[in-house]
Amino acid sequence: MAKKIGIIGAGHMGGNMARCLADAGYFVYVYDTVTEVREQFIDCATPCSSLEELAANCDYYLTSLPNGKVLKNVLVTGGFLDLLKPGDIVIETSSTMPEDVEYCAAEAEKRKIHFVDCPVSGGPKEARAGTLVLIYALKETIREQCQDIFDCLAGKQFFVGEQPGSAKAVKIVNNTMSMGNLVVASEAFSLGVKYGLDPQKLFDILKVSGGTSNQFSKRFQKVVDDDYTAWATVEISYKDLSLAIDWASTKGIPMDVAKLARSYYEKAIQENRGKEDMVSVYHEFL
């Protein structure tokens, strides 16, 4: 029988992972605090009006929440972990500080619930297509139980050990590099365009040259086409860089370059570009 998977948080990422899992034949149950959001999944999943209803139907849970504070409020303070059965598995995919995950994992262990630290790299399109990069930390004893779910959602996947929080640490490092790369690429690309180079030709050359990055090759066709519809927003970039900077401050690392990069996303938000794709930071260099 197909696994029953409960999704907590059905936004752009959680919602598309829910659809991907439903397409693969899993029984999917969806909970979101916004009624209209969870009811969007009635065609492929079972919307649940409460966490109690979700917990009564599932053995596996996937959380996709805005930040660590919400995660802790839902799982621990709000009592969701207390609703689960010993042996249930929670796969946590949000972008949070590693210490938030360490805390939630410890609380889950007290209740004999398995906790998987599993942030993702990629956007809603990759979530829907099952081509995300998964970075996960979990006990080897439960890895086989989760492997089919990982295989469904991931184009690439990496096991980083058993320590909760270690996968989140990798994700924070990745986000810092990604958002920083995009700012540098924007500044450099604007230099070529201002000189008079054809934007399409410039992009075609740079995306296969030494200065390229995943974010550049993935996103700068949007700049060429003047299309800033969001795959992942400027606001998300600002949030993710802020998370990295806040976490680094607990380690005594100044993160001067990350702070500079964040300032450009902040300017874009102030100019009402916060809902546009993160590559809209390019406008700060025009």
DSSP H helical ranges for 111-165: 124-129, 140-153
Q: Which residues of 169-198 are buried (b: 16+ CB within 10 A; e: fewer)?
A: bbbbebbbebbbbbbebbeebbebbeeeee
Question: Are residues 139 and 103 both part of a single domain?
Answer: yes
CATH number at residue 267: 1.10.1040.10
Could you say which of 145, 163, 181 is where a domain stops?
163
pLDDT by position in tens, the chain (length 286): 689 999 999 999 999 999 999 999 999 999 999 999 999 999 999 999 999 999 999 999 999 999 999 999 999 999 999 999 999 999 999 999 999 999 999 999 999 999 999 999 998 999 999 999 999 999 999 999 999 999 999 999 999 999 999 999 999 999 999 999 999 999 999 999 999 999 999 999 999 999 999 999 999 999 999 999 999 999 999 999 999 999 999 999 999 999 999 999 999 999 999 999 999 999 999 9
Question: Are residues 214 and 233 both part of a single domain?
Answer: yes
Question: Are residues 26 and 148 both part of a single domain?
Answer: yes
Q: Which residues pair with 132 in a beta bridge?
A: 154
Question: Are residues 54 and 154 both part of a single domain?
Answer: yes
Could you say which of 136, 163, 190 is where a domain stops?
163
- Structural domain boundaries enclosing 224: 169-285
- DSSP SS3 for 117: strand
Place of tokens 């500044």: 187
Question: Are residues 203 and 250 both part of a single domain?
Answer: yes
Q: How many residues does the chain have?
A: 286
